[in-house]
Chain A
Amino acid sequence: MMKKTLLLILVVSLFAPLAVMADSASGEIKPAPWSGDWWSRKKGFLIKGWPGHSPSPFEKYDAYVQSRTGRNPGTHAWESNIRNGHYNPKAENWEGHCNGWAAAAILTPEPRKRHIRNGIAFETADQKGILSEIYMNTYCKFYGNRYWGNANDDIDDIYPDEFHRLLSEYIASGKSAIICDTAYDRQVWNFPAFKFESSWTTGWFDSSKLKVKTTVYYVDDGVKPDFIGTKWFSTTYTYNLFLDGNGNIVDGEWTGASKKNHPDFVWVPTGDAPNPNGSNQENPCFDPKFVKEITDGPENRDFRGDDAFRSPDAVIMEAGLDPQDLF
């Protein structure tokens, strides 16, 4: 009996390091990006308003800027022009401002209160609509390659090792939510990912591979215009991460159902951008300065202030750093 026990201990101690190892990681961005309408091109809520909501967000914006400058900036007229491609009763059902909403939801605090500016009431839905328009173009970091269906496009991209690194780099470190095109094929569905839970095991007697299961939580845009808060949905992905002799991840592969259900590309917006030359992706009649006046600050304000000069060091201080210490 004693001999058998000793033998068992010997076998376990010899092979334990080679057996299954398990670990996990998670992360969450707080506050989460906000949910908002994706402003369908077909419905045209931004220029027509919706039942119980009139005037429309863009009519209010034009009225406000007119009160500031004496001139109508023409956002409503531009958006209403079908030739500009933003409002079109014949547009596809899925066409809208989802990328503008996703970027605004990451970069701006959620408008949760009515703001009255020069006597004009901007409800939360008005503010979200305007923000979703001006963030249609952003400067952003882009990861992976968009799948167009061309012969040399790799349908496995974005690779899971890069995707897992981005979840860790941005979400686990509390840096930022990231926007994923959740459709692995030609379709594009942009949703901000703000939370993940990941667990993994090595294979039996195989420490060169991690078998990973990761649930990613995405912010949903299937909400009414005046929705406040974060509605989310989740998707679980499975993949293998391959390790070199030093335990570094050097490669990866999607597994199971995730081979045909994984993100195509990831982007992280870092700031508003004007239209590229010859593009009308974004309504060019908006001025970010006036949008900021509407969405920032107290609930009620007659805006008469001048534009203050902001030095680069002011941004350093806003980040909680001290220029005196740094430089």
Chain B
Amino acid sequence: MRNKLRIFLLAAFTCLMLAGTLYANEGFVPKWNVGDRWVLEASYRDMRSPGEVWMPPLQWVFKVRSIKQIADQDCYVLHVYPKNSTLKVQAVLWLAVADLRPLRVIDIYPTNEGVKSSERDIDPSDPQPLLAEDTLVPYDLPVFPLVRASASVQNADGFAAYRSEPKEKKFAKVTKVGGLSFKRTIGQKNKAPEKQYADTFAAYRSAGASFQVELAEPRSNTSLIQLWQEGSPWAISSESVARKIRLLPPTPPTPLPQTGNGGDE
């Protein structure tokens, strides 16, 4: 009798684990290949000026340079650099192939003594959105996979997604600097894109699902809204009070002069 109970519990546990895995695999995680490259155009608001003054846009090249292992996980090594090469700001991100979870971030920045870099490792067991807080490089990423709240509540009229309020997931982000630790709480909400963003998708329309992701921090009363589209390598749009970013639609390749070291800008 005791053995039967053990077998039953083991079977139940296995079923639960499998169900969990299947659910996790259901969501959307962008997939890349080494050599993939895309360009984001970012506009930054001059927050010091009265009214809405936006700086001339910058274009950022995102290039998957390799796949390497950290902490037994395969990671994309993503190199982000400005097309305008006079700006000496870059980033190198190690993102897990499985779910784009950030494991390592290197920020490269200018100083009056030349260019410097800072590196931070991120605990892979504590998934949290990656926010470009202290850099110009727009590498903000939500926690993947993205799952449309509408999938489980889609009703006959098809508009249930717009009526149901999706649940917000809270992530504690603890930064340890100068002997102190600072905690912030970031909320992530995934939902079907609101109608006002319909035009944004026009240039990227593919067969896949689309997602609206809101990353918000209660105390700062600013939030970042990203639009993701299956088939696109990165968020096709990303907006906050201080930044507007869009993924440039892919263009047919044109022959470029050889540079000999992987750079193409």
Contact = CB atoms under 8 A, between A and B. Distances in A.
Interface of A: 23, 25, 27, 31, 33-34, 99, 105-110, 137, 139-142, 145-146, 148, 159, 161, 164-165, 167-170, 172-173, 175-176, 181, 188, 198, 241, 244, 246-251, 265, 267-268, 270-277, 279, 281, 288, 309-316, 318-321, 323, 326-327
B178 A272 contact: no
Nearest to B56: A274
A188 B48 contact: yes
Nearest to B179: A25
Interface string B78-112: 01010001111110100000000000001011111
Contacts of A313: 261-263
Contact of A161 (B85, B115, B182, B262): B182
Contacts of A281: 49
A326 B180 contact: no
Given A313-B261, A326-B65, A31 B112 contact: yes
B47 to A, nearest CB: 4
A108 B180 contact: no
5 contacts: A33-B112, A165-B175, A168-B177, A173-B178, A319-B115
A168 B113 CA distance: 20
A25 B90 contact: no
Contacts of A165: 175, 177, 182
Interface string B154-181: 0000000000000000000011011111
Contacts of B262: 311-313, 323, 327
**Looking at chain B, what size class is its interface with the partner chain?**
35 or more
B218 to A, nearest CB: 11
Contacts of A327: 65-66, 77, 79, 262
Interface string B163-205: 0000000000011011111111000000000000000000000
A314 B245 CA distance: 26
B46 A250 contact: no
Interface of B: 44, 46-50, 53-56, 58, 61, 65-66, 77, 79, 81, 85-90, 92, 106, 108-118, 133-136, 174-175, 177-184, 219, 242, 259, 261-263, 265
A273 B177 CA distance: 30
A279 B53 contact: yes
A139 B55 contact: yes
> In terms of DSSP, what is the predominant structure of the interface of chain A?
mixed
B112 A142 contact: no
Q: Which of B92, B106, B134, B179 has the most CB of A within 10 A?
A: B134
Contact of A318 (B56, B87, B114): B114
Given A25-B180, A173-B177, 20 more contacts: A25-B179, A31-B113, A106-B112, A107-B110, A110-B112, A137-B55, A141-B134, A165-B175, A168-B178, A169-B177, A173-B178, A176-B109, A181-B48, A241-B180, A251-B219, A267-B47, A272-B86, A276-B54, A311-B263, A318-B114
Given A164-B180, A167-B178, A312 B265 contact: yes
A146 B177 contact: no
Contacts of B53: 276, 279
Nearest to A27: B178
A2 B134 CA distance: 59
A109 B112 CA distance: 5
Contacts of B112: 31, 33-34, 105-110
